[in-house]
Amino acid sequence: MILSFLSPKTEVRTSAIQGRGLFARERIARHEIVAVKGGHIFAREKLRDVQARLGPAEIQITEDLYIGPLDPSEREGSMIFSNHSCEPNLGVQGQVVFVAMRVIQAGEELTHDWAMTDCDEGEMSCNCGAARCRGKVTGKDWMRKDLQERYRGFFSWYLQQKIEGR
């Protein structure tokens, strides 16, 4: 079951960052829509159950709401395969639309910084290999002033609201 949109200019293949990733098959213009995350909307209290059964497959869309699959048969079709990078080429518009932050050439892996979408207590080692790699990614990275400056206009709506103090 297909729940998410992936641009026909993309393909999923093996990633050096982690498992599988999304790659540009051809040139993608700045601000072009690359992916739209689909799935079911569910509350934070259901998150642990979903992750225990399906692994990480959701994206946070508000303080207490997530979008993603609820059943194993939906997992593959809900994925956008955008791995984390500390030097991303995708940003978020709204809550679930991922766009190119710059011109992306064919062959490039399509990535976003999870600081653009996540606000939680999580922490993970980073494998992005970027020159600006932070080495560790946390669910509070969105609070960093340097990232707020760098990704201005590309944070998910709910994080942008938090940044602006609303």
- CB count, 10 Å around CB of 82? 24
pLDDT class of 166 with cuts at 50, 70, 90: confident
Q: State the average pLDDT for the chain.
A: 96
**Tens digits of residue pLDDT in 94-125:** 999 999 999 999 999 999 999 999 999 989 99
- CB count, 10 Å around CB of 154? 18
Q: What is the pTM of this model?
A: 0.95
Please state, in angstroms and rounded to a whole number, the distance separating the CA atoms of residues 142 and 23. Answer: 25
Q: What CATH code is assigned to 5-163? A: 2.170.270.10
User: Is it the case that residue 142 has pLDDT exceeding 90?
Assistant: yes
pLDDT class of 93 with cuts at 50, 70, 90: very high
Q: Where in the chain are the domains?
A: 5-163
DSSP 18-58: SSEEEEESS-B-TT-EEEE--SEEEEHHHHHHHHHHH-S--
